[in-house]
Amino acid sequence: MKRCIVGSMDSVIDITGLVKRFGHTTALDGLDLQVARGEVHGFLGPNGSGKSTTIRVLLGLLRADAGRVSLFGQDPWRDAAALHRRLAYVPGEVNLWPNLSGGEVIDLLGRLRGGLDEKRRAVLIERFELDPTKKSRTYSKGNRQKVALVAALSSDVELLILDEPTSGLDPLMEAVFTDCVDEFRDEGSSVLLSSHILAEVERLCDRVSIIRAGRTVESGTLADLRHLTRTSVSAELVESPSGLDRLTGVHDLVVEGARATFEVDTDHLGAALEALGRFGVRTLTSQPPTLEELFLRHYGEDVSS
Amino acid sequence: MTGSTGSTGALTVLRFHLRRDRMMLFWWITGNVLLYYSQAVSTDGLYTTQAELDRAAAGMESNAAFIAMAGPARALNTLGGQVAWQAAAFGAIVAALMSMFLVGRHTRAEEESGRDELVRAAAIGRHAPLAATALVVVIANVLLGVLLAMSLVSYGLPAAGSWALGLAAGLTGLVFGGVALVAAQLVESTRAAYGITGAVIGVAYALRAIGDVGNGALSWLSPIGWGQYLRPYAEEQWWPALLSVVAVVVLAVAAVMLFDRRDIGSGVWPARPGPARGSLGSASALAWRLQRGSVIGWTFGMLLGGVAYGSIGDDVEDLLGDSEFSKDMFASAGNSVVDSFYATSAVMLALIGSGFAIASVQRLRGEEGAGFAEGLLATALPRWRWAVAHLVVTLVGTVAAVLAGGLGMGLGFALVTGDGSAVLRLTGATLPYAVPVLLLAALTWLAYGIRTRWAGVGWLGLGFCFIVMMFGELLQLPGWLMDVSPFQHLAQTPAEDFRVVPVVVLLAIIAALSWLGMAALRRRDLVTN
């Protein structure tokens, strides 16, 4: 049956080889991105790496120069308006008409999206502690984001596209946001979440894609990605170790007497521990790579090479 | 001495303001000086002999509508008297608006954007931004007054009258600068502050209009009236200047006292909350909501402008004099001078109304550039419907504005002459000129559709049409070039009979341009930041 094309059937978003140029600058240079139905997908990358551009192509606001982009199996440029009934978007920079109140904007966006859930609207306004009677010009950045979030989350949609949606929220509101996204996923819907807040990504995302300079450099579950990176190990041994530097995958080795610290490619962690065992282990601390290290490694690659 | 309540650093802030304002100040002041200067030139051009001027002055002095618009008629049979009369009221309003925008931009707008906080965090006194703003306004109005007086003296007008006229403009500008400074303390938003100041300017203009037509008492309540009571070129009296000076001081002190009672970022009056629930449910409702103020304002303004033309009545021949210039302008249709004059006036009104049409189309660019369109077009709203919603407002607003201009002209004419049939006749004669206006709108739309930055082409088109209409004959432009202006092809109603064909052709061109514009918009990237 059609089930054989598993990727495209289960993908809400399926992008391969996307290229987007602005004049002479190439913003996206063969980007790939797959978001499966029902998953929260983290979309990570340094500033200017093309996250927002990708999202705008997905929304049919920008036109792809090359590559294949499919949203719910359809072309987001040609079928933009119809597809938009099934998704809600929170832009990174929320700009609202200064003389409309927050409540007016929420209702306007909701209606244009094809109606919003009244009950959810009321609950969300309560939870985000938003005053909907204030004119948009008086809202802070965080409050403008809340307006867009309430409008998006109270719509009955299958996909949320969020571009750094919490950059202006305080930690309390961020927690509310996290809960809301969890609930949204529990209903079987999908989320594309571009973010810089790693704790948020770690807490929410099933899978992540990391992009750099308009290209996808890594994609997978967090566990997958951790696998690709290094664990730091620090051990106190009975006797002074030797030959550790000959092990494959070991980096930055420092041996001081019976003490050894090093970083090891997570794939070779087992071999390294075995080697340590031969010298008698008194204490051992090993730290899995944090998401932050993961990012720094990918973001910073250009600098080191 | 560097107390936290002082104005330490005001001069630094002032220098910064002037750096930011220099182009703005240049255009406002030059524009206003030209407004006066051009009256001198055109009056000289219009009346070649003193007898003509005497005849025109007699007609003007007895025309209540003129007096209501311009001010008390004094020494109208002199060049200076004409300049003062025709320019002073409008010049005062221009000066007032300049002051209002200067104040708004350096007070409320800065606080709204948060830039004010950045400045206040520096080692400057609490009152420094306020003092710097006041100084900018003083500098601007002094410059205006001095340049205005000097330009008129250089034209050959009497010095005393010229300086009185300059003083009147500068002082009126200052008084309304004071009003704007107070308004900026009262309310939280720049818009609301402009609203209050604008309303005060409107009331001041209305008071002097009613006063000047009546016994003059109400004019003494108006800062614009104080300026005119300096009697430029008509036995100047200087003491009314004191009224303005006192008003400026009182307003400045009031502004400082109000400033001390409020927090930065908020106003003395708390902001009015908006509705918690919205009634806007479609792109059309939103477009109307965003543009209605402009549609209503322009329609009303065009009505008044029409009344201004219409109230000249059938004294046209006397007012126009016998100069070659006026013959070129108004008698070219070869019909009655009155009808030719109103044909020209109708085109003039339509050209003014083009300002609305072009600005209205450019609203799309504004919405897109400000990032409002991004969120909107990520909903189920198709791009074309978003654009059409705004363009429908452009269409309706343009027709309304041009109709209002014609209606005003008819009403003014009917009031002065008692000829009631003129209302319908002149309204009907003006309406066809909405078509070339819409063509300029369509041109703007096409340019915008291709590339947002090109939307300014509309103003170039308008400038071109204006030059062809005003100076085309004078400059002896080649026929084919003049024919590019859509206004050239219409029958010059009411001097000529209405012709259907040119209107249909123009409508077809409008349709084609609109279609191309839509095709272009649907193909291009949305502008995002």
Cβ pairs A/B, distance under 8 A = 123
CB nearest B371 (choices: A80, A93, A99): A93
Q: What is the structure's pLDDT at B520?
A: 97
Judged by CB atoms closer than 8 Å, whether chains meet at B280 and A99 is answered as no
Is A57 touching B (CB cutoff 8 A)?
no
Using an 8 Å CB-CB cutoff, list chain A residues near B112.
137
CB proximity under 8 Å: A 139-158 to B: 148
- How close, in Å, is residue A169 to chain B by CA atoms? 18
* Nearest C-alpha in A relative to B286: A108
Q: Which residues 359-378 of B have a C-beta within 8 angstroms of A?
A: 370-372, 374-378
Dist CA A45 CA A108 (whole Å): 32
Query: Quick check: B263 contacting A, CB < 8 Å?
Result: no
pLDDT at A303: 41
**pLDDT for position A7:** 44
Q: At what angle do helices B128-155 and B240-260 cross, to 10 degrees?
A: 160
B4 min Cα distance to partner chain A (Å): 27
Q: How many CB atoms lie within 10 A of CB B98?
A: 24
What pLDDT, in 10s, does the model give residues B134-173? Answer: 999 999 999 999 999 999 999 999 999 999 999 999 999 9
Q: What 3 state SS string does chain A have?
A: CHHHCHHHHHEEEEEEEEEEEECCEEEEEEEEEEEECCCEEEEECCCCCCHHHHHHHHCCCCCCCEEEEEECCECCCCCHHHHHCCEEEECCCCCCCCCCEHHHHHHHHHHHCCCECHHHHHHHHHHCCCCCCCEHHHCCHHHHHHHHHHHHHCECCCEEEEECCCCCCCHHHHHHHHHHHHHHHHCCCEEEEECCCHHHHHHHCCEEEEEECCEEEEEEEHHHHHHCCEEEEEEEECCCCCCHHHCCCEEEEEEECCEEEEEEEHHHHHHHHHHHHCCCEEEEEEECCCHHHHHHHHHCHHHHC
In chain B, residues with a C-beta closer than 8 Å to the C-beta of A102 are 274
State whether residue B478 sits within 8 Å of chain A by CB: no
**Is the Cβ of B524 closer than 8 Å to some Cβ of chain A?**
yes
pLDDT at A3: 37
Residue A132 touches partner B, C-beta closer than 8 Å: yes
Q: Are A60 and B374 in contact (CB under 8 A)?
A: no
B279–chain A Cβ distance below 8 A for any pair: yes
- Which residue of A87, A98, A103 is in closest CB contact with B275? A103
Say if the Cβ atoms of A108 and B526 lie within 8 Å.
Answer: no
Asked if B335 is an interface residue toward chain A (Cβ–Cβ < 8 A), one would say: no
Across the interface, do B281 and A108 touch by the CB < 8 Å criterion? yes
Residue among B276, B374, B381 whose CB faces A91 most closely = B374
Q: Which residues of chain B neighbour A168 with C-beta distances below 8 Å?
A: none
A214 touches chain B (CB under 8 A): no
**Most A-contacting residue of B292, B374, B384 (CB-CB within 10 A), to test interface:** B374
Rounded distance between C-alpha atoms, residue B55 and residue B39, angstroms: 18
A56 in reach of chain B (CB within 8 A): yes
Using CA coordinates, name the residue in chain A closest to B285: A108
The residues of chain A scoring below 50 in pLDDT are 1-8, 303-305
A81 interfacial to chain B (CB closer than 8 Å):
yes
- Least Cα separation, residue A138 to chain B (angstroms): 8
Distance (Å) of CA B36 to CA B41, B42, B91, B319, B436: 9, 10, 7, 19, 30
Residues in a beta bridge with A34: A14
Which pLDDT tens digit goes with each residue over A142-165? 999 999 999 999 999 999 999 999
Rama region for A159: left / alpha / beta (φ>0; ψ in -120 to 50; rest): beta
Query: Cβ of B375 and A148 within 8 Å?
Result: yes
Note whether A106 contacts B370, CB cutoff 8 Å: no
What are the pLDDT tens digits along chain B (529 aa)? Answer: 344 457 888 999 999 999 999 999 999 999 999 999 999 998 888 888 899 899 888 888 887 778 888 899 999 999 999 999 999 999 999 999 999 999 999 999 888 877 888 888 888 888 999 999 999 999 999 999 999 999 999 999 999 999 999 999 999 999 999 999 999 999 988 888 999 999 999 999 989 988 998 888 899 999 999 999 999 999 999 999 999 999 999 999 999 999 999 888 888 888 788 999 989 999 999 999 999 999 999 999 999 989 988 988 887 777 766 666 666 666 554 567 888 889 989 999 999 999 999 999 999 999 999 999 999 999 999 999 999 999 999 999 999 999 999 999 999 999 988 999 999 999 999 999 999 999 999 999 999 999 999 999 999 999 999 889 877 877 888 999 999 999 999 999 998 999 999 999 999 999 999 999 999 999 999 998 7
> Which of B273, B278, B377 comes nearest A107 by C-beta?
B278
Contact B398, A114 (CB under 8 A): no
* Residue A31 touches partner B, C-beta closer than 8 Å: no
| A168 interface with B at CB cutoff 8 Å | no
A115 contacts in chain B (CB < 8 Å): none
C-alpha distance from A13 to closest chain B C-alpha (Å): 16
Determine, for residues A108 and B286 on separate chains, whether the beta-carbon distance falls below 8 Å.
yes
Q: Which residue has the tokens 């003006």?
A: B430
Q: What's the pLDDT score for residue B64?
A: 78
Candidates A96, A114, A132; nearest CB to B380: A114
Cα dist from B244 to B18, B29, B219, B360, whole Å: 25, 20, 13, 38
Q: Give CA angle at B92 (B267, B409), nearest 5°.
A: 105
Structure token pair of residue B513: 């341009």
This prediction's pTM: 0.82
Predicted-complex ipTM score: 0.84
Indicate yes or no: CB of A85 within 8 angstroms of CB of B380: yes
Q: What pLDDT was estimated at residue B256?
A: 95
Cβ–Cβ of A61/B378 closer than 8 Å?
yes
Is the CB of residue B356 less than 8 Å from the CB of residue B401?
yes
Q: Pick from A100, A103, A108: which is nearest to B276 by CB?
A: A103
The CA distance from B176 to the nearest CA of chain A, in Å, is 25
Probe site for chain B from A59, A112, A130 (most B CB atoms < 10 A): A112
Q: If we measure between CA atoms, which residue out of B434, B372, B376, B375 comes closest to residue B403?
A: B434
Nearest to A97 among B271, B277, B290 (CB): B290
Please judge whether A62 and B380 are an interchain contact, meaning their C-beta atoms are less than 8 angstroms apart. no
Å from B385 to nearest chain A CA? 10
B189 in reach of chain A (CB within 8 A)? yes
pLDDT of residue B233: 96
**How far is the alpha carbon of A193 from chain B, nearest alpha carbon, in Å?**
16
**Tokens for B419?**
């000829």
Q: Which two tokens stand for residue B194?
A: 């402009």
> Do B382 and A81 count as a contact with CB atoms less than 8 A apart?
yes
Asked if A85 is an interface residue toward chain B (Cβ–Cβ < 8 A), one would say yes
Residue whose structure tokens are 């909701």: A110
